[in-house]
Amino acid sequence: GQQLNQSPQSMFIQEGEDVSMNCTSSSIFNTWLWYKQDPGEGPVLLIALYKAGELTSNGRLTAQFGITRKDSFLNISASIPSDVGIYFCAATGNQFYFGTGTSLTVIP
Amino acid sequence: ETGVTQTPRHLVMGMTNKKSLKCEQHLGHNAMYWYKQSAKKPLELMFVYNFKEQTENNSVPSRFSPECPNSSHLFLHLHTLQPEDSALYLCASSQDVGLESYNEQFFGPGTRLTVL
């Protein structure tokens, strides 16, 4: 079935650094979503993308819907300690799919 | 109370026990969902309810039994579970069901379940 390949699986970065993660698939999707999950909490929607090529920002976060509709990336600029958590991509095609997550650790 | 709440937050049970997970949403939504989240795996959709009616069951074993008495409450009854059922169980809600509604889900904090 359709599968979202999310990378990297984990990241350890210094505070202030920029972060980039992506999701790819062999299938085409109509919507891409990015969530953040804090420890002990449920996922919270960060950014939703609805059109191929769309670039959307939410504060220090920027996400893009790939032009081929098969991928998406999320960038975080100037990371801070509270950015720690697991970031998930999700996409809607004929069904709804989640990625496996990128675990982000920010070292002060 | 706001958003989606889940109780208990943590649960440890033996394989012969019977327990229930509870989810409540205060958003006026019509659709509710149960997901299973295991380490290093994508979230797995288990059940979907719309206006108290089950609309989706993703081949979930019968040892998991959902109940939706009204559009604000969702339960997951557990019995004779296996250790591999240990996971974080997340509840979510959205205004309606349908593919577009998945884009507008609100998640609860989850119940961390450990089966011994």
Residue of chain A minimizing CA distance to B111? A40
In Å, what is the CA distance from A34 to each residue of A23, A58, A74, B4, B62? 10, 11, 8, 19, 32
Minimal Cα–Cα distance from B98 to chain A, Å?
A: 9
What is the reported pLDDT for B98? 82
Pick the residue of A41, A47, A51, A72 with the most B CBs within 10 A to test the interface with B by mutation: A41
pLDDT mean across residues, chain B? 92
- Distance separating alpha carbons of residues B45 and A1, to the nearest angstrom: 14
Q: Per-residue pLDDT for A25 more than 80? A: yes
What is the reported pLDDT for A40? 85
Omega into B8 within 30° of 0, i.e. cis? yes
- Nearest by CB: A33 against B41, B90, B103: B103
Q: For residue B25, give both structure tokens.
A: 């949403």
**Which of these ranges, A84-93, B81-90, B98-107, has the smallest mean pLDDT?**
B98-107
Element (H, E) at B101: helix B99-102
CB contact under 8 A, A31 and B103: yes
Q: Per-residue pLDDT for A3 more than 90? A: no
- Chain A residues within an 8 Å CB radius of B25: none
Q: Is B41 helix (H, G, I), strand (E, B) or coil?
A: coil
pLDDT-derived band of residue B58, with 50, 70 and 90 as boundaries?
Answer: confident
- Distance separating alpha carbons of residues B99 and A84, to the nearest angstrom: 30
